[in-house]
Structure formats: C-alpha cells, structure tokens
Structure 1
C-alpha cells in the first residue's frame, strides 16, 4: 500500500495578460527534475492542472503530495536542489509561483 500524504503543497501560477507558460517544457523537464530532486526527501506525487475557465485567478495549479511537513522542510533545506529548481522556472514561465502548504486533515 502506498504511503498516504500527510502534507500537500499547491503551486499556483497566476493568470495575467502577459502570462507565458510552456506546458510542454514544464511536463517534460521541470516536473521530472522536481521529482528527481524531491523524491528522496519525501515527495510522494505530483498532479498538474490547467484551469478551464479563463476568468479564474490562476492558470495552472500543481499539487504535490508529501510524506509529512518534515519532508517538505527537508526539501526546502536542500539549497542545491532548490537553486536548481528555481533557476529552471524562467525557462517555462514569466509568472512568480505561489506556494500554499497545507496539512492533510482528511482523505476520502
């Protein structure tokens, strides 16, 4: 049985009139890079969503599932991995990602 997540981190990319987002690059390069760097710290999975309504505040929502808060914090302390990931962001978007960290309180 797979480990249930104890924490989710949602990454939001705001919609704007000048938004650039290379979804192909994001899916083929950035997500595999994040998975490679963060799985040893406790990343359990990633779900990428593209919002359907152009009237919504965010164009893309990414949900990452983590073993627990300690796993997320360990990933954030990995300065080498974090630097590599953040330096990759301008290669696929001009948006500043927003991170929302939440403890899982229910899973159906």
Structure 2
C-alpha cells in the first residue's frame, strides 16, 4: 500500500465546490481502476500554510506513477492556481483503532 499526499498552499484561488463535486469524482472514475483504493480531503483552518490536503491510498507507488499521466492532472487549472506539492511514500504500518 502507498500514500500520495497532495498539498495546495494558501493564498491562491481554490474552487472547493468544483474540487469536491467534479474533480474528485473524476479522480475516482479514472484512478480507481488503476489502483486508487481511497481518498480523504482535508480543509485546513484559515491562516495556515496550506488550504487543502488530499490523502490518496494506492495499491502501490508504481500504480500511482502509471495513472498520474492522464486527464486528472490536466483538470487542476479548473479549480486552482495553487502549485500542488506531492509527497509519496510506501506504507510501513497502519493501525485502525
């Protein structure tokens, strides 16, 4: 299992309605069959460094790297001017309490 975290910095236009209701369904439709298992969207409180975080759980980083070359990334300008920061990693331990 792998995690891809996408961080969008504060101080940029961000259409949250479009992101949640159009972009993320596009993500699920296109990336689900490619190995995306789940995602969580977090909106941070005002005044922080970042405004939005997406945490995507994948079967592997290889699956993400293969899928990340499609229409999903091309949709980003439709909801934000923020440069996205990607952080990727392989899961070493997961505990559900």
- List aligned pairs for 1:1-108, cutoff 5 A: 6-16=1-11, 19-54=12-47, 56-76=48-68, 79=69, 82=70, 84-108=71-95
Rg larger for: 1
Per-residue CA distance 1:23-78 (angstroms, 9 max, x = gap): 11000000000111111110001100000241x211110000001122112213xx
TM-score relative to the length of structure 2:
0.90
Unaligned runs of 5+ in 1: 1-5
Q: How many residues end up aligned between the 2 structures?
A: 95
In the TM superposition, structure 1's runs of 4+ consecutive aligned residues that sit over 2 Å from their partners are none
Alignment TM-score, normalising by the size of structure 1? 0.81
Q: Determine the C-alpha separation between the residues in 2 that align with 1:51 and 1:66.
A: 23
After superposition, the CA RMSD in angstroms is 1.2
* Structure 2 gap segments, 5+ residues each: none
